[in-house]
Structure 1
Amino acid sequence: MSCMGLNSTELQEARDYFKQLLLPFTSSFTIFHNYVYVFLCVVGVFANISIVVVLIRPAMRKSPFNLFLVVIALCDASLMGTYLAYKHVELCHPWYFSFPWAIYTKFYAIFSVFVHSCSLWLTVNMAILRFLVLYRGSRSETRIPQCNGFGAAYIAIILAFLIACIGCLPIFIRYRIIEGEAGAVPDLCLVGKYADKWEPTDMIRFYGLSQPLWWNCDFERINYWMAALILKLIPCLLLTIFMTLLVRMLIEARERRSRLCGGMGNGNSQAERTTAMLTGIVAIFLITELPQGVLTFAAGASPRLTFLTLQLNNVFDLLSLINSAVNFVLCALMSHVFRREFLLTFSMCCPQSSENHSGAPINKTSNRSILSTFSNIAKPKTSKKNGFLPVPTNCPDDKNTVQLAMN
């Protein structure tokens, strides 16, 4: 009897059933996946590195929320880089049967889960912090402490790493490398992609990953449910709640601006654009993580569904890669500040133009005036207890409109 509560016959039946059920889909998707993941990983690594380079520029350092995006980008770039290396060494590759590759496989099994979990909880904490900032800014009297500073961002980031560590704790001790006996090269290696690397007389030693000798079904259940709850279900639930709240506050802000302007508003405020961008990041994370979270919970209730999860591993991997690579697109599409700083940062790699992205001539004076908006923000009268700037209305006749940076 296995830890799933199924005997060997039931395990084999469940494995064969889902394999045959999804064989047409998995066969086609595997071919598609093998082409797409390389592109996503290579482009995604450079995209996330560019996010880091742009967001650490002086003009972008003033926003604590950019700190979240920097750490998330580092996590995503690390995940895609290690995934690309892991998938590159296939069965029958000369490195596949080596001890160093067994060490890397163990490292990847732990590191990939931990880094992805950190990225997930960073997104959750960023959404929570953004909601608290907007909620506090919309109230004249509130007991919520100020959350718009770097201190709150540092605490939220450290907390995200601590939660990820707790959720991954059983995974850290779950694997050990086992050494098998020496044997002949598998027959499929003599006729496949790497046939020229092997001879029928070659002998290899097999290495694999297994659980420690003291590992039992109780530890396996603890590992499963800690990962399912802390790394999947709870963050997905929190993302759903706070994404809904952010969208609601975004709609309310637009309606309030429309009422104040009499329907003559000339666009969204920078604060609203920032909220929309962060909401988009949260939404992408939720779309890519929710299916796996639901299926993980279902597999806990019905162990046979575990084999369905195994058949869909490439699907979940691709969703995670898309999520890791899409943040650059969201930043570029939804933040003109990011676009401007990106062009300024990589201007040596791009054709020089006498106009910027909005069609206005580029000159030193305009650049200084643009950058000055980040450091010289007007300070209207607000409650000292609150300390937050009012949400700008962007009305055509409102001379006191405050253009906020990515706050």
Structure 2
Amino acid sequence: MDASSGNSAFNNSVAPLEGFDKDMLSSTLSQTQALLEHFNISDIEKILNMSSRTVSVMTQCYCSGTLREILLSYKSVHGYFSLVVCVFGTLANVLNVAVLTRKEMASAPINRLLTALAIADMLVMLEYVPYACYAYLVLPGEINMPYNWAVFVLFHCHFTQVLHTISIGLTLVLAVWRYIAIRFPQRSHILCSDRRCNVAIGIGYILPLIVCIPSYFTFKIQATVVFENDEMIVLHHVGLSRMAKEDDELLYYVNFWIYGIIIKLLPCVVLTVISCWLIKALYKANRRKQALKGYTNCNSASLLPSEKRAVSKSDRRTDRTTKMLVAVLLLFLITEFPQGILSLLSVILGRCFFRTCYYLFGEIMDILALLNGAINFILYCSMSRQFRTTFALLFKPRMLAKWSTPASQTDVQTTYV
């Protein structure tokens, strides 16, 4: 169901369960409890949605053998691991917002973009906490699939898709923003003005709501009735809507193409090109500095000390900002490219790949996406001098403030991310 969830494959509770083998259900419902202890709901769907013979064939289509065992083993610890990442990531992004919204930081448009990105990542992690608690810690020990849970899952898949698409869009804006600043340094203050920054953030939050429209009509809450010992049990779940099943599931595949191509692969391709260009620009700048080092040393006597410091500080500032954003972009590509490729393969190779391979990578894609949103704080601290300085001034105890050097406060005003 990754095609409909934004933060990778939140699919283990949204697989369609219609089309059960009724005879098998009535005779094996007592075994479902044991199945839930070893598989998530998407695995149950693969088992119950077809005859056992068909399942044995399909599970050999893709991702069988050792890889399958490794992925299934990770599912048993994903709930705990994801909760740790979400708690850390939420706190880290709160700190990001607190630092980036300080007056001396918020004056730079690129910092406002980073703030908007931190808010989107924080909301994704906050929402994932109750999902992980129930889906991985509570639900595996129950046979009941209540209606309230199905409602939450439906909200979860749309909410995370929209928020994660916002993160992708803002990351793309960041890359373009930095490209303009390096490529057109004399006009960057015009092309990357405060007003255009606000417009970019507004579009980054609104456009995903429109792009994700197909997924709103692709899935709906369904109920499957099973019997055990003459007792009726209703299993509520999220499955394909009637509209998604029409015309040979046209809407279902359109949703997959939009998710795999427009939301995932296209931004990744653009970010790859821009990242390569920025790395090349950094390499050229470093090589140019080395070539001019001797010339600068020979002519340094003609420059005033303040002029030397200004030139040196400006160069270092530009390089630090570019390096930090390149690190953010590369981290994004590592987490997003695999998701886009898996989504594309699900459309090209069909349901067999989707059910037997794509599902297995659900938790892996989840944790990669969550880590991507949680690690930015570490990148900012390690690569941005102004971020560290502002963070220290914001959270350092007042009694220690008198030991701060005057230069550190000056850097806050003169050093950009």
**TM band (smaller chain):** 0.7 to 0.9
Of residues 354, 362, 369 in structure 2, which corresponds to 1:313? 362
Match of 1:405 in 2: 416
Q: Structure 2: which 5+ runs fail to align?
A: 1-18, 20-49, 298-310
Tell me the alpha carbon deviations over residues 9-62 of structure 1, each in whole angstroms, 9 at most, x when there is no partner: 877622354464333212332234333212111000000111001100111011
Task: State whether residues 175 and 209 of structure 1, in contact with CA within 8 Å, keep that contact through their aligned partners in structure 2.
Answer: yes
Give 1:35's aligned amino acid: Y
Mark the CA change 1:92 to 1:244 in structure 2 (over 3 Å): closer, same or farther.
closer
**Alignment partners' CA distance in 2, 1:124 and 1:118:** 10
Of residues 382, 387, 404 in structure 2, which corresponds to 1:362? 404
Match of 2:70 in 1: 25
Match of 2:303 in 1: none
How much does 1:170 deviate? 0.7
SS of the aligned residue for 1:89 comes to helix
Q: How does 1:4-403 map to 2 (within 5 A)?
A: 13-18=57-62, 20-21=64-65, 22-90=67-135, 91=139, 97-137=145-185, 146-181=190-225, 205-215=234-244, 216=246, 217-262=249-294, 269-303=316-350, 304-306=352-354, 307-348=356-397, 353=400, 361-363=403-405, 365-366=406-407, 369-373=410-414
Q: Structure 1: which 5+ runs fail to align?
A: 185-199, 356-360, 374-403
* Identity of matched residues, %: 25
Task: State whether residues 95 and 101 of structure 1, in contact with CA within 8 Å, keep that contact through their aligned partners in structure 2.
Answer: no
Tell me the alpha carbon deviations over residues 177-233 of structure 1, each in whole angstroms, 9 at most, x when there is no partner: 22444866xxxxxxxxxxxxxxx9998642111233232211112111111111111
How much does 1:69 deviate? 0.9
SS of the aligned residue for 1:97 comes to coil
Give 1:213's aligned amino acid: R
**Alignment partners' CA distance in 1, 2:112 and 2:189:** 20
Decide which structure has greater helix share: 2
**Alignment partners' CA distance in 1, 2:161 and 2:143:** 23
Task: State whether residues 274 and 335 of structure 1, in contact with CA within 8 Å, keep that contact through their aligned partners in structure 2.
Answer: yes
Mark the CA change 1:372 to 1:51 in structure 2 (over 3 Å): closer, same or farther.
closer
**Alignment partners' CA distance in 1, 2:96 and 2:143:** 33
SS of the aligned residue for 2:392 comes to helix
Mark the CA change 1:163 to 1:229 in structure 2 (over 3 Å): closer, same or farther.
farther
Mark the CA change 1:325 to 1:372 in structure 2 (over 3 Å): closer, same or farther.
closer
Task: State whether residues 386 and 412 of structure 2, in contact with CA within 8 Å, keep that contact through their aligned partners in structure 1.
Answer: no
Give 1:158's aligned amino acid: G
C-alpha RMSD of the superposition: 3.1
Give 1:334's aligned amino acid: M
Give 2:148's aligned amino acid: P
Give 1:214's aligned amino acid: M
Give 1:171's aligned amino acid: S
**Alignment partners' CA distance in 1, 2:195 and 2:280:** 27
Provide the TM-score with structure 2 as the length reference.
0.74
How much does 1:71 deviate? 1.0
Mark the CA change 1:123 to 1:257 in structure 2 (over 3 Å): closer, same or farther.
same
How much does 1:308 deviate? 1.1
**Alignment partners' CA distance in 1, 2:261 and 2:189:** 29
Match of 2:36 in 1: none
SS of the aligned residue for 1:210 comes to strand
Give 1:308's aligned amino acid: C
Please identify, of 66-75 and 22-31, the stretch whose mean Cα deviation from structure 2 is larger: 22-31
Task: State whether residues 145 and 237 of structure 2, in contact with CA within 8 Å, keep that contact through their aligned partners in structure 1.
Answer: no
Provide the TM-score with structure 1 as the length reference.
0.76
Task: State whether residues 97 and 119 of structure 2, in contact with CA within 8 Å, keep that contact through their aligned partners in structure 1.
Answer: yes
SS of the aligned residue for 1:271 comes to helix
Task: State whether residues 68 and 122 of structure 1, in contact with CA within 8 Å, keep that contact through their aligned partners in structure 2.
Answer: yes
**Alignment partners' CA distance in 1, 2:89 and 2:143:** 25
